Structure 1
Amino acid sequence: MKLLSTLLRRFVKSGTLRVYDAEGKLHTFTGTPAEPVVTMRLHNKSLYTKLFFNPELYVGEAYMDGELTFEEGSRVFDLLNLFSNNRTGLTSHPVQSVLRHTWRSLRRFHQHNPISRSLKNASHHYDLSDEFYRLFLDEDMQYTCAYYLDPNDTLEEAQLNKKRHVCAKLQIKDGMKIAELGCGWGGLALYMAQIADVEVTAVNLSIEQIRVARQRAEALGVADRVHFEHMDYRQLQGKYDRVVSVGMLEHVGVGHYDEFFRKFRSLLNEDGLGLVHSIGRNAPPGTVSPFVRKYIFPGGYAPSLSEIFAPAERQRIWVADCEILRLHYYYTLRDWRDRFMANWDKAAAIYDERMCRMWEFYLISAQLAFLTGSEMIFQLILANKRDAVPIVRDYIVDNERAARKTA
């Protein structure tokens, strides 16, 4: 416990962390101010070394396995909030600094995503039971950041706002041919087909998501105009008036951004428009949390804008607009977590308690990353021609207001 204590004394600059070791002895680490207080118990001596060398992985893993529990009203949210507010104390430790340097040096290996590996990575997360996802997503099963006109919007309202916002930017009109790269369970593609007489080709690597999306298209009577294909975006061919990607760039990998923008540009008609919506970071290039990389999104990464603009420039595609959404994903994850916790028993019946603890840890850590960390959402409008969109942004608001009036 001595080794771990040296890290925790340096780590806790604000609040108090109380740790019962595996033998029941209490260790207290206090910052200024001393509140809030979080009390946890370690049930395995092997955690002393594991947590010293890689706390970002083994805290979550220990919680999943029941080897780290909480005392006196503390919760995993409280621990992660304490962690988030003391992040600099952890990253400044020499051992943690070396660890992060090692992770950065391995980024291209961790995010090397040829088609075969991308298929495996997508299946790891997205081929879970759709019944599981229905426990916490909105009715349309949107699994990307919503758009809150007000923090008190319902999740359903905010996800509808997001679809309107995206389509307002793209100026969706009758007769258009649209490609969607990474379509989830099909909600955006189906929405576009409902607001205009368009033909949509949507691709995705998740077999389960494609299956559900096709069922939904049949039920809505638009299967003749909305085609869901199980393929990698790099395999899609043709020319389209609009190309949209919401929540897929995070899975492309840092070594594949030139490839992504090259394909994106090749799919766009000369007068076409595209939109990319992705998690990003308001910070220099970094790495993925080892817990997220191992258990949640293997091969995933939220890029800095500097990592995105350079390959876009190399492919000579116009970034006609860039919008940063700061707290919208925090509100989205707040609502997902509330619904997940309310349906914990149902989720455990589908999988097990360990799976529930893993998802609780993931949702909370992601939520706090958008509140106290560097995570944000960016939306780019892309075009082959500089005048493909109006010269002022008023058209976006005008289109959104018109969409709300016709709803």
Structure 2
Amino acid sequence: MRVFKSFAFWNQLFSLLMIVTAGILGWQLYTLDVLPGNIQIPVLTCLGLVCLIVILVKFEFSLSPKIMVGAFAVSVILTAVFGTGSYYLYRTSGTLSAITAVKKTSNNKVSLIVPVDSSIETPEDIAGKRVGVLKNIDKGGTEQALTQLEKRTDAQYELVELDSVPQEVLSLYTGEVDAIVLNEAYRTNVMELEGYEDFSDRTRVLFQASFKTDATNEALAVSDVTTRPYNILISGNDTYGDVGELSRSDVNMIVTINPVTSTVLLTSIPRDSYVPVDCGDAYACAQGQLDKITHTGINGITSTKQTLEQLLDIDINYTFRVNFSSVTNIVDSLGGIDIEVPEGQAVETFYADSTLEGVTEGRNHLDGERALAFARERYAYIDGDNQRVRNQQMVLKAIFDKATSPE
């Protein structure tokens, strides 16, 4: 009698657990919307029917020990299956929430820069000096910096308007101006110019203004992603740390997904493509000016998106913004990725980080840092930036393969 009561207790407990775990699993399937619309209701209905059938069998055959033991075993197995499924869907939901979190603002830093050997030591020393500012570029950033500088000091100075970033830096070098106002997003651009590679060593920041701008980028949502094709822009900034920092958009990849044919097309636009720029919602940009596509990232993700829409004559439905840290974090979170390096594409050491082991022909397992270095490599290849684009696509495919694996 004691054994029977114990069995009855566990039988009822696992019946309850089966119903609870099935309910949790069904709710997560529904809220995550991971199933196509035409099979979502049938799947959820089947979950309920399976539980109902097991309960009815237990009730109808309560006097048959063999059937009861079998039904009990089924309820234990289903509880384990539903519980495991719920756990992994919960982790998936957390991952998706973390990596698709939308930042409402972008961070901006604009500096007042002087030569490293300048006698100007404090913002107050700027009194009576000539300060170079850009005439048509980053007007908003310049205004913000000067406004914050005025709050710091009441020193009076003369503004000298200049037409371009190279002219501004040259004026600082030649002494035509004593200081310049420059958005930090342009620093890398300056250091890529011939003769200006040591810009950071030859100058120092006297004062820096920090402010935020709106970064609203509404999705052009597709009504049913299981039946209608759509485009995703992956925009990669050349920075570490906060993805909200405005910087160049060095990677611009359009992912076109056709759910009907189950195909994905990756289209990469070279970073140095010279195109008419759409400013988007940037207030410090010359609409329609010709510039490199990478520089649109300084205006914000909306500028990059709308410039590419005009260039390719397409609609971009969704955007995904990443930077160096994003890549390393995603790859490491997945436990590394595996890539297949074609013959002739081996790299002994990476230009981006010579301390890292390169890649060999054939299969390579990469952690986050090596995956990033591989995606950035171009100097080791005759095909240069074109091969770098292929590497980036290989890394994206490997991330997708790992993320969708049973692991």
TM tier relative to shorter chain? under 0.3
Higher helix share: 1
Q: With the length of structure 1 as denominator, give the TM-score of the two structures.
A: 0.26
Rg larger in structure: 2
Structure number with the bigger relative contact order (C-alpha 8 A, sep ≥ 6) is 1
